Amino acid sequence: MDSPLYKTVSNLTNARICVCGDFMLDTYVRGRVGRVSPEGPIPVLHVDEKSHSPGGAGSVSIMLDALGSEVDCVGVIGADSGGKELKKQLIGAGCKVAGMIETNGRPTTLKTRYMGYVHSAGRGVQQMIRVDEESTTPLRRKVREKILNHISSVLPDIDLLLIQDMAKGTFTPSLLQEIIGECRSRGKPVLIDPSIKQEYAAYRHATCILPNRMETEKATGASMAYEKDYAEAAVGFVNSLDLDFSIITLDREGMFFADKDGQKALVPTTPRSVIDVTGAGDMVSATLAISLASKLPLKEAVRLANAAAGIEVSRQGAVPVTRTELAEGLRLHAEPCQNKIKTEEEAKQTVARIRARGESIAFTNGVFDILHLGHVELIRFAASRADNLIVGMNSDRSVRAYKGPGRPITPQQIRAQTLAAMPNIDYVIIFDNPSVYSLIEKLQPDVLVKGGDYSSKEEVVGWEIVEARGGKVVRAPHVKGYSTTELIQKIKDTTGNDEK
């Protein structure tokens, strides 16, 4: 029986990995579209902000760093502002960039996406156009030699070499064979994310190749429709290219692997809500690289990479997943209720992870002693106001402090587990103070939701904290006739009548 995946994360080491490949800079230009140009039927974008992030091999590098690897980047950039920004981004993420070779006459590969929205709140974002600036001509001999020399210099100290071939001119078949041969002679594994444009013979003798469904169909000429097709292709790669193993990524179906010892299997994906598939392939490459460099068994490495991609697609954009987030996400999926429950001490870390994903937070609180329709409607309403809903719940001690020794009826752990079982609640935080003020200070929510029985926002504890950072205080519609105190009294009255 397979062990829980979240326990596998603790077996990852701080492996040193060399990422060699096509590095690029992704730029996002965001703004509001309020009119059409008088020069033609063209939307006019009023730019609000620009942001940059490493793409291609750069994206994989920062994901590896987030997972705890020590990363050496080897690639080519132009002597231009894009190259400077790309190096700055990689250094800021903690990667080593001594192997990023600057060349004249060849630009840094840039992909600029213009993103427009029509709502003042920035909702309904639509990509209007993508502009690519690149050269895909093969590298000059001197540049190829510099790449080989740098790889040779770091090989004694690395645990694995990851090649990201994206057909931008970095790799010729001869260069690939020289790199693979050098690694093989030094006993270093080579994991390759192949290009759809490359002849696969160029990857011969690598440890593993990692094509996706489309790349596999192009390389084999066969349709990848059924498990027998995956098996035939994966085994075929191992035999024809003299690989140790091959792994085919199959988007929503998962991943199929085969090795030279005859082991093969389809690892199905874990069902998750897909928000954005951007970065899923990079996450697979990064997780497999660190897993294999940490000497995890092949099946465990594939399972972990498959699950990590599932976490990545549940986020907006190619956001690096840290090792802690990976473990927490896997644990949450394995034990969804228990792992939603956090202490006050864990609250800040939880919020920091949410903020890092660029997501918003709604917050509401209460005792939730006997869960009733009023609570359900409050939670449903609060969940609709932001990307994440955090519910603060009074501890047993804090309930007794202001409701008396007879309360709560239900112990805090049972109350917390009941709330955590509700799918529209992301986290439950048990707080020990009779007042929720200090917890709101820690969380700094974007939206503070209270029941509609409050007549004004000034009656809501913590309203000034939320509004000071530009957030909102929102009153949920009041459901009449539902109150825990009234329910308890009705139970007492009913019990009393039965006894008579």
Catalytic residue ranges: 282
Rg (CA), the chain: 27
Name beta bridge partners: 193: 164
| Rounded CA separation 199/218 (Å) | 10
Using an 8 Å Cβ cutoff, are 183 and 191 in contact? no
DSSP string of 125-169, one letter each residue: -EEEEEEEE---SPPPHHHHHHHHHHHHHHGGG-SEEEEE--SSS
> Which of left, alpha, beta for 279 (phi over 0: left; psi -120 to 50: alpha)?
left
CB 57 within 8 A of CB 75: yes
Query: What is the bridge-based pairing of β-strands 341-343 and 264-267?
Result: unpaired
Q: 280-293 and 298-312 are packed helices; what angle lies between their axes, rounded to 10 degrees?
A: 150
Helix (H, G, I), strand (E, B) or coil at 497: helix
Q: Decide if 401 contacts 435 (C-beta within 8 A).
A: no
- Distances from the Cα of 198 to the Cαs of 182, 231, 494, in angstroms? 20, 22, 78
Look up residue 332 and give its two tokens: 């949450």
Give the separation between CA 245 and CA 87, rounded to whole angstroms. 33
The amino acid that residue 142 corresponds to is: K
Burial class of residue 486, CB neighbours in 10 A (0-12, 13-18, 19+)? exposed
DSSP 9: G
Task: Give the separation between CA 262 and CA 429, rounded to whole angstroms.
Answer: 49
Strand partners, 258: 246, 264
